[in-house]
């Protein structure tokens, strides 16, 4: 059979034996987390928000009254982590990152001020973690901060500048994709902290 684009379809037998393709399930990790957080809010499970990045607008062009365009802006200050809120009476703070790297997570994806913030929250018994998506493997993991901090600190003492994929698989928890809570990290938090 030929499709309108002129390409032949692959064998129906090979399709039935292959795994389902979930590669386009969500537009991005942050959008999947936003959908999860909205589900948590509506279902009265947790209140978690994406933190806005504080910017200072310097120059705006007004070609039409209804179409203002920001021409120049600067970050007011370094942002902290991506998400924070409250779950089961505990403060939650986490960073979400995607990588196309298949063998490791580059530490350059995180910034020192974010680590400092997470360490401060961790000292005060806040629940801090990373959600890391390996796009190539189509796998998303929750990595508790106490497992992440040693990798971060070790890079400044001659250690690796990345976390091996296998280490994340071993120390993190796989977050399978779900329909409503796409990145259902609350169930993992229940097992790890409650």
Q: Please report how the helices 112-123 and 145-154 are oriented relative to each other, as an axis angle in degrees rounded to 10.
A: 140
Is position 77 annotated in a ligand binding site? no
Is position 53 annotated in a ligand binding site? no
Is position 82 annotated in a ligand binding site? yes
Across-strand partners of 56?
A: 74
Is position 80 annotated in a ligand binding site? yes
Across-strand partners of 127?
A: 92
Strands 127-134 and 90-99: what pairing?
A: parallel
Contacts of 28 (CB under 8 A, 6+ apart): 98
Q: Residues comprising the binding site?
A: 80, 82, 95, 114
Query: Where is the binding site for Mg(2+), in residues?
Result: 80, 82, 95, 114
């Amino acid at each position: 059979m030929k499709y309108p684009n002129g390409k032949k379809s692959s064998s129906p037998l090979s399709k039935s034996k292959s795994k389902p393709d979930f590669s386009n399930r969500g537009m991005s990790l942050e959008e999947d987390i936003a959908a999860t957080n909205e589900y948590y809010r509506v279902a009265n499970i947790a209140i978690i928000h994406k933190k806005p990045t504080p910017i200072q607008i310097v120059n705006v062009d007004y070609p039409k009254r209804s179409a203002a365009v920001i021409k120049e802006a600067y970050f007011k200050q370094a942002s902290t982590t991506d998400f924070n809120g409250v779950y089961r009476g505990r403060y939650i703070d986490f960073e979400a990152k995607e990588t196309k790297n298949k063998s490791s997570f580059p530490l350059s994806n995180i910034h020192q001020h974010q680590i400092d913030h997470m360490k401060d929250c961790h000292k005060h018994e806040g629940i801090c973690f990373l959600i890391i998506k390996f796009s190539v493997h189509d796998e998303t993991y929750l990595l508790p901060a106490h497992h992440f901090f040693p990798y971060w600190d070790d890079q400044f003492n001659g250690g690796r500048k990345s976390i091996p994929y296998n280490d994340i698989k071993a120390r993190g928890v796989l977050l399978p994709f779900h329909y409503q809570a796409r990145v259902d990290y609350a169930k993992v938090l229940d097992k790890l902290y409650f």
